Amino acid sequence: PAKGDEEPRTGLRVGFVGAGRMAEAIAQGLIRAGKVEAKQVLASAPTDRNLCHFRALGCQTTHSNQEVLQSCSLVIFATKPQVLPAVLKEVAPVVTAEHVLVSVAAGVSLSTLEELLPLNTRVLRVSPNLPCIVQEGAMVMARGHHAGSEEAKLLQNLLEACGQCEEVPEAYVDIHTGLSGSGVAFVCTFSEALAEGAIKMGMPSALAHRIAAQTLLGTAKLLQQEGQHPAQLRTDVLTPAGTTIYGLHALEQGGLRAATMSAVEAATCRAKELSRK
């Protein structure tokens, strides 16, 4: 019998095929939030290089991708996109109607996933971002033809351990990559520039970077908790002839808005291009 068959189902068993940073981040979030027990998680990878991180969390590990599917009904594929088709072909013989399969590989469409798996397999696609590592991810998920609202709810509930997760049409996934996947780098660039402005004015570097990061964090929390449009919050900080309007004028002169919109557009177009390949 497969590994999961001899023990009573005390809870959900979650499998990971691929054990890189994103897989580890998701596993860590699920375990920390008490969504699954560490011993109910089984991860596979070709070498021990990344599996040691899973063992440190208390998870089971293996070098066999098929074993993961034989032991777990919910399996998250977190391999590199170019490796995924070969991995799916390899596990296809052990996929059953019980399985719910989730891909976090960028640029691999639901139709490609469904083509490589047995007919009627329940497949969902998730686009995560790096802050999943600190349980503050912004994720979107899209479901294939055979995944119903029950599977979507189950996955959404699990992934909320790693941040915010919203169900969207698949067409939004590439936009999410441009906005939130690449957006992490855009926000880092802005944070760095904010700090450098303070350094230019005489503040020590380490202090300036700490304050810039905290300013981003605090502003994001305000936007989320107040549920306000950013323009409203921005107006609240503005006083006539005050410091902020002088700074905002300089940002407008530098074309910050147009540059940011172009950055999201460029990253989205590139994501679409990679998806087509």
Residues 141-188 have pLDDT tens digits of 999 999 999 999 999 999 999 999 999 999 999 999 999 999 999 999
Domain-ending residue, one of 146, 170, 194: 170
| Residue 100 DSSP code | E
In a domain, 175, yes or no: no
What CATH number corresponds to the domain at position 200?
Answer: 1.10.3730.10
Same domain for 191 and 124, yes or no, is no
Same domain, 147 and 248: no
Q: At what angle do helices 48-57 and 21-32 cross, to 10 degrees?
A: 10
Residue 49 backbone zone (phi > 0: left; psi -120 to 50: alpha; other: beta):
alpha
**Strands, sheet with 163-167, edge to edge from the N-terminal-most edge strand:** 60-62, 41-44, 14-17, 74-77, 100-103, 122-127, 137-143, 163-167
In a domain, 32, yes or no: yes
Which pLDDT score is estimated for 275?
85
Q: Are 19 and 147 found together in one domain? A: yes
Is 81 assigned to a binding site?
yes
What is the per-residue pLDDT for 4?
Answer: 40
- How many domains in the chain? 2
Q: What is the pLDDT of residue 7?
A: 38
Same-domain pairing of 213 and 157: no
Cβ-count burial 57-77 (b if 16+ within 10 Å, e if not): eebbbbeebbbbbbbbbbbbb
pLDDT truncated to tens, each residue of the chain (277 aa)? Answer: 444 443 333 578 999 999 999 999 999 999 999 999 999 999 999 999 999 999 999 999 999 999 999 999 999 999 999 999 999 999 999 999 999 999 999 889 999 999 999 999 999 999 999 999 899 999 999 999 999 999 999 999 999 999 999 999 999 999 999 999 999 999 999 999 999 999 999 999 999 999 999 999 999 999 999 888 999 999 999 999 999 999 999 999 999 999 999 999 999 999 999 888 7
Same-domain status, 104 and 65: yes
Instruction: Name the percent of the chain lying above pLDDT 90.
Output: 91
In a domain, 176, yes or no: no
Annotation-wise, does 79 bind a ligand?
A: yes
pLDDT value for 57: 95
What residue numbers bound the domain in which 239 lies? Answer: 181-276
Q: Within this chain, do residues 191 and 148 fall inside the same structural domain, yes or no?
A: no
The answer to the question of residue 165 being in a domain is: yes
Residues 154 and 57 in one domain: yes
| pLDDT of the residue at 8 | 37
pLDDT score, position 274: 85
- Predicted local confidence at residue 276, as pLDDT: 83
Domain boundary among 148, 170, 192: 170
pLDDT value for 187:
98
Any known ligand binding at 65?
yes
**Which pLDDT does position 248 carry in this prediction?**
97
Same domain for 222 and 155? no
Query: Are residues 73 and 194 located together in one domain of the fold?
Result: no
Which CA distances in Å does 111 have to 82, 107, 115, 122, 141?
16, 11, 6, 12, 15
Diameter of the chain by CA atoms?
75
Q: Are residues 158 and 54 in the same domain?
A: yes
For residue 9, what pLDDT is reported?
Answer: 39
Let me know whether 59 and 82 are in one domain: yes
We report the CATH number of the domain holding residue 35 as: 3.40.50.720
Q: What is the pTM of this model?
A: 0.87
For residues 130 and 202, membership in a common domain is answered with no
Residue at a domain's end among 170, 203, 234: 170
CA distances from 261 to 68, 234, 266 (A): 42, 18, 9
